[in-house]
Amino acid sequence: MRSVCVFCGSSRGANPEIIVAARQLGALLAERDIDLIYGGGSVGLMGELADSVLAKGGRAIGVIPQFLLDKEVEHVGLTQLKVVNTMHERKALMAELSDAFVALPGGIGTFEEFFEVWTWGQLGLHAKPYALLNVANFFDPLLTFLDHVVAEKLLRSEHRQLLLVESKPAKLLDRISTARPTQLPKWIDDEQT
Ligand code: AMP
């Protein structure tokens, strides 16, 4: 695993434990010689993460659309900043550059990016692992909801289980470095008819 794409909040959030975890993940990526691929921002948890990678001598590669660059929210000290035209191009390039995907706590931007990656995996468009860093039990309500979606037979249990969940950054990196998601049929009804 040479690169990991991390989606996370452009805000810092209210919980110091989450900020510490973002910094720990950044330091670990650098120590393990894994490139950080992320949205290129200087703000919030994104900034904390990238700063920690760079402080430990690691490589942080940002992918940012021009309109965000115009708002001057980009991180100016990155190893590389790739500028694209649209949010869709950004996600496509981040996915292409990365061997695995991680979401840290964040808001709707983080969810949207992570769910797209999961959807692409479910449709067999990639076979890269994806994981949530469930620090401070941030994602517990979402995990409960996902179990509800499985119970309602709108999400396959196997697809639900492909979502890796760890509360500690080191364990999370260990798991995504060895995980090989299997390709499964997408539609539950396919098996019932
Ligand atoms: P959110 O979780 O709503 O704060 O959105 C965070 C995600 O949206 C990140 O993973 C980024 O890709 C993108 N994003 C939102 N705001 C910014 C920003 N100011 N600079 C760069 N990327 C951002």
> CA distances (Å), 98 to each of 38, 71, 94, 139, in order?
9, 26, 6, 23
Per 3-state DSSP, the chain is made up of helix, strand and coil in percentages (nearest 5) of 50, 15, 35
Mean pLDDT of 22-46: 97
Inform me whether the pLDDT recorded for 193 exceeds 50.
no
- List Cβ neighbours of 75 (8 Å cut-off, separation of 6 or more): 40, 41, 42, 46, 47, 50, 60, 62, 81
- The secondary structure of 167-186 as a DSSP string is SSHHHHHHHHHH--PPP--S
| CB of 9 shorter than 6 A to ligand 1 | yes
Query: What is the rounded CA–CA span in Å between residue 143 and residue 110?
Result: 15
Q: Which of 149, 103, 150, 101 shows the shortest CA–CA distance to 126?
A: 101
Q: What is the pLDDT of residues 44-91, one digit of tens each?
A: 999 999 999 999 999 999 999 999 988 878 889 999 999 999 999 999
What 3-state DSSP class applies to 11? coil
Q: Which of 8, 37, 46 to mutate to test the pocket of ligand 1 (most atoms within 8 A of CB)?
A: 46
- List Cβ neighbours of 52 (8 Å cut-off, separation of 6 or more): 22, 23, 24, 25, 26, 27, 30
**Ligand 1 atom nearest residue 71's Cα:** 19
Least confidently predicted of 33-37, 66-70, 138-142, 169-173: 66-70
In angstroms, what is the span from residue 49 Cα to ligand 1's centroid? Answer: 13
Q: Which of 10, 111, 117 to mutate to test the pocket of ligand 1 (most atoms within 8 A of CB)?
A: 10
| CB of 43 shorter than 6 A to ligand 1 | yes
Percent with pLDDT over 90 in the chain? 89
